[in-house]
Structure 1
Amino acid sequence: MKINIIYALAFCCTIFNTNAQSIEIDKRLGKESAKAVELEMGIYNNEKLSEYVSSLGQRLVSHLDKPLFDYEFHVVDDPIPNAFATPGGYIYVTRGILSIIASEDELACVMAHEIIHAQNRHSVKQMGKSILPKLLELPGRVVGQVVNDDIGRILNAPITTSNSLLLASYSRSHETESDVEGVILASKAGYDPDAMKSILVRLSKSMEILTNQKEVKGYFNSHPYTPDRLEKITKTTAKLDWETKTKVSKDFPQPLDSLLFGANPDKGFFQENTFIHPAMNFSFQFPNDWHTENKPTSVNGMNKDKSAALFLGLDDVSKTPKELAHEFISGVKKEHRAKPAFSDHYKINNNDGYLVSYLDDSENKQMYIHTLWLKMDGKMFKIIGIAPKSKEDELKKSVLSFHPLTDKEKSIVKNRYIRVVESKGGETFDQICKHHNCILSPDLTAFINGMDSTSSLKDGTLIKIIIEEDYFN
């Protein structure tokens, strides 16, 4: 599985020579990357499910010849089907992949694959080959300070090249190695190694559904082509002599009951160009056709030609908007001897705020930087807008749209959950979905259960369905 997390580490790439370095590097990197995973993605809060995943993981680890690390297993609050390992034995599975897992054997094979990545130190070996991501570049000295300092604080990671963000991904040879050694490890723990093939096919299909793109074989793909992986796994499992053992869960998929399905509304979401955050009770409208992103510590947007940007985050609620504004003004004055073009109290929808605006023409291109502190519902919001004069009206319209959620907006917020139900003898997926008011089609319901939608089910078969509930009851 491709690792899908950014390591915010300030280590130079040249230290990653695993032939010369001890596993202490992995442990050190692992602790830092674990913090990044928790910040960027979040750990899913479900004690029973976490205990189940950890118990399964520890069973697999017990069959390693010599574990290098004290392995940890976590469920990540991410709807995308994925699993990944970070250095030092930190293994993660997402909510998304759990939702399409059809058996404990499949889950064991996925986790064994990731354990091998960690055990064979693939992350550390690959990090030296990583590419630094592109950084936000807007003209102007004052703009530069706002981007690096204030927006950096909002994003909770300085946007500077001195703190390199390293994106690790595995080579195809590492993936093949983990496929082969992973199914061997799973078989030692008493799991069907061929289950890796069924979950790989379903994972490939789920990504086709999500991206609307069919998997193709390509030289530059980091992962081997799925049919090639299946062929290699088949050759490996044909040589294995293994015995099934008692499962950690005797009634899988029962451990997945009540698992949140799809995007987590608590993190906020976009409804077209409007951002809605039910947990923090606010709505904010970005200009049409802007590129937007929702990060754990901020929500951001940028226009197509990258000449204008908006950032919304939180600031120190113990201070007033005016106090925070004056601290900001002092910092800019000290660094650039610049004075604000505007600085005064500013109200939006009867909420007290303070607005500071600068005009930066240090690079022969006039750029306006507006920073607004706004207190609402016991929180201190900070909105930063950067744009040329021609985009001023767009920025102002967006900022003025900031408001507490209306009843209409609240009504569209839903939670989706997995429910595990028992089928009746001869029942079809079409009948199950109608009886339980499933929000997925019979075809997709069968898909996440690893079955054919035309199947006639046996009595007492445990089936995952997806139901929907109002967020605001």
Structure 2
Amino acid sequence: MRLRFLPSLLLGGLLLSGCAVNPVTGKKEVMLVSEGQELAMGKQSDPAIVAQFGLYQDEKLQQYINTMGDKMGRISHRPDLDYQFRIVDSPVINAFAVPGGYVYFTRGIMAHFNNEAQFAGVLGHEIGHVTARHSAKQQTTSIISQVGLMGAMIASPQVARFGEQAMQGLQLLTLKFGRDDENQADELGVEYSTKIGYNAAEMADFFRTLEREQQKAGGEAIPDFLSTHPNPADRYTHVNQLAAEWKAKPGTPAKLDINRDAYLRLIDGITYGEDPRQGFVENNAFYHPELKFEFPIPQGWKSQNSPQQFQMADPAGKAMMLLTLAPGDNLQQAAEAVAKELSLQVSQSRELKVNGFPALAFTGTQVQQDQQTGQQQTGMQVLSYIIQDGQSLYVLIGGSAPQDFAAYAPLFTRTMEGFQRLTSADKLNRQPEHVRIRTVKTSQTLAQALTANGVPAKRHEEMAILNGMQLSDKLGRGLLFKVVGK
């Protein structure tokens, strides 16, 4: 969490309909979004996405994705589009695109690719979503949606309504394309990566990695009939078949590149997993080494950290809290801005000290106007603390339905008044892990190589997935492989 403000995201003006020729199929289809609107949507979305997640600072890796992306864009069905490629600072294994040619890869997915061909296939898949105008065909503007307070975890409609207003951040989402769109994007990923000289069958192998990650996460793969998307196992089969067909086409080079070693050397040192410098949770507390503060988290509450804010939610779905930067130059300005943003009628307000920090605490009730009836409706009841640390103003917000507020107010207060300076050297000096590329010295199994490099047995399966291998796989002398360390 680096805590920054987000620009407003304006994705209006999507009601203009008409016919347009799809660049991929060549067929006319009804479009709710013109090409000009599509380009505008991308330009408006990009600053918010970057503000929410931050860019991963690696000039060499960014240059690589730019070069590969530009090369692929030129052979795509929309070669004149001004594609923009970003690596965002998130450990999640994900890649996504928004209208207008903006394509994003997380550092998490970059760490899990094991060769250039895998990256090229997924790059082609995301460019395919853009060229086939899948985003534009969606009859919604929620390509980037307001953070919904831990998404579906909070079931209360009142809390959800509060969340849509309280959180101005944006949540990185896997775009919910339908099965046909996903299959078409896979086809285009195979086509585009093959055309620039890569073996698209490697893209199929990456779906094996996704499948294993899905299983490691603790849930069985969603059966096809319960999902609108192809599951990783079926995509593996489909993409392998497509890759074989493209390889057999006249004009396709007899030898298609994989480039394993070059890619592994490129990502040597990439940050792996959560970055504790941006804040981390441990022993029912949130610590931020860079900003040097800490505060407690209620026992059993779920939490989610992002560069823009830290969110906490009661597992019963009846209350939430968040911390983010407050607008304004002083405590009073910040309090007024927060109350206005949340449509709060403030009932009490007082200045105080929170562990030496100047603070202002206030309670209020959210009052909104029903758009259909015009009548005012009472929503959440809120406790908020504005805390000043030098030039920084932090806002801690806790909210619940009015009938539950008395029960949750003591929890809110303990958390907010627990905000204090972080002084523990162990927490202040916490460092992230990084991918390290090692060379096999003598022929051995992956399990033996991991043990020889100091990887504990409890992390062997995690490292096997990261390498796209099985622990029993034989590694020849001189082979490169990944481990993880500080």
TM range (shorter): 0.7 to 0.9
Aligned to 1:201: 208
Cα deviation, 1:61-106, whole Å, max 9, x if unaligned, reads 2322551411122212111211111111111221121222111111
Aligned to 1:81: 93
Aligned to 2:119: 107
Aligned to 2:199: 192
Provide the rounded CA distance (Å) in 2 between the counterparts of 1:89 and 1:359. Answer: 42
- Where in structure 2 are the equivalents of 1:52-131 lying within 5 Å? 52-64=64-76, 66-128=78-140
- Where in structure 2 are the equivalents of 1:417-456 lying within 5 Å? 417-438=434-455, 441-456=459-474
Aligned to 1:299: 310
Q: 2:387 aligns with which of 374, 397, 402?
A: 374
Aligned to 1:217: 223
Q: Which letter maps to 2:107?
A: R
Cα contact 1:18–1:125 (8 A) shared by 2: no
Cα contact 2:450–2:460 (8 A) shared by 1: yes
Please say which of residues 348-357 and 257-266 is displaced more in the overlay. Answer: 348-357
Cα contact 2:324–2:396 (8 A) shared by 1: yes
Q: Which letter maps to 1:446?
A: A
Cα contact 1:322–1:345 (8 A) shared by 2: no
Query: For structure 1, which runs of at least 5 residues remain unmatched after alignment?
Result: 1-6, 158-164, 469-473
Cα contact 2:199–2:256 (8 A) shared by 1: no
- Where in structure 2 are the equivalents of 1:177-326 lying within 5 Å? 177-210=184-217, 212-240=218-246, 241=248, 242-243=252-253, 244=255, 251-271=262-282, 273-316=284-327, 319-322=329-332, 324-325=334-335
Q: Which letter maps to 1:382?
A: V
Cα contact 1:368–1:389 (8 A) shared by 2: no
SS in 2 for 1:62: helix
SS in 2 for 1:219: helix
Provide the rounded CA distance (Å) in 1 between the counterparts of 2:446 and 2:37. Answer: 50
- Asked if 1:383 is matched to 2:396, the reply is yes
Provide the rounded CA distance (Å) in 1 between the counterparts of 2:47 and 2:196. Answer: 30
Q: What do you get for the CA RMSD once the two structures are aligned?
A: 3.7
Give TM-score scaled by structure 2 length: 0.79
Q: Which letter maps to 2:350?
A: D
* Aligned length in residues: 443
- Asked if 1:50 is matched to 2:62, the reply is yes
Provide the rounded CA distance (Å) in 2 between the counterparts of 1:214 and 1:108. Answer: 28
Please say which of residues 254-263 and 418-427 is displaced more in the overlay. Answer: 418-427
Post-superposition shift, 1:304? 4.3
Q: Measured at CA, do residues 407 and 460 of structure 1 come closer, stay the same or move farther in structure 2, by a change above 3 Å?
A: same
Cα contact 2:117–2:257 (8 A) shared by 1: no
Q: Measured at CA, do residues 128 and 407 of structure 1 come closer, stay the same or move farther in structure 2, by a change above 3 Å?
A: closer
Provide the rounded CA distance (Å) in 2 between the counterparts of 1:234 and 1:366. Answer: 52
Q: Measured at CA, do residues 166 and 231 of structure 1 come closer, stay the same or move farther in structure 2, by a change above 3 Å?
A: closer
- Asked if 1:169 is matched to 2:176, the reply is yes
Q: Which letter maps to 1:396?
A: T
Cα deviation, 1:407-438, whole Å, max 9, x if unaligned, reads 16617833100111222131443443344333
Aligned to 2:481: 463
Aligned to 2:23: none
Q: Which letter maps to 2:267?
A: L
Q: 1:26 aligns with which of 28, 38, 49?
A: 38
Aligned to 1:471: none
Cα contact 1:79–1:95 (8 A) shared by 2: yes
Cα contact 1:191–1:245 (8 A) shared by 2: yes
Q: Measured at CA, do residues 285 and 177 of structure 1 come closer, stay the same or move farther in structure 2, by a change above 3 Å?
A: same
Query: For structure 2, which runs of at least 5 residues remain unmatched after alignment?
Result: 1-7, 21-30, 150-155, 369-375
Provide the rounded CA distance (Å) in 2 between the counterparts of 1:16 and 1:196. Answer: 36
Q: Measured at CA, do residues 10 and 113 of structure 1 come closer, stay the same or move farther in structure 2, by a change above 3 Å?
A: closer
Q: Measured at CA, do residues 60 and 386 of structure 1 come closer, stay the same or move farther in structure 2, by a change above 3 Å?
A: closer
Cα contact 2:327–2:337 (8 A) shared by 1: no
SS in 2 for 1:253: helix
Aligned to 2:354: 348
SS in 1 for 2:208: helix
SS in 2 for 1:289: coil
Cα contact 1:123–1:169 (8 A) shared by 2: no
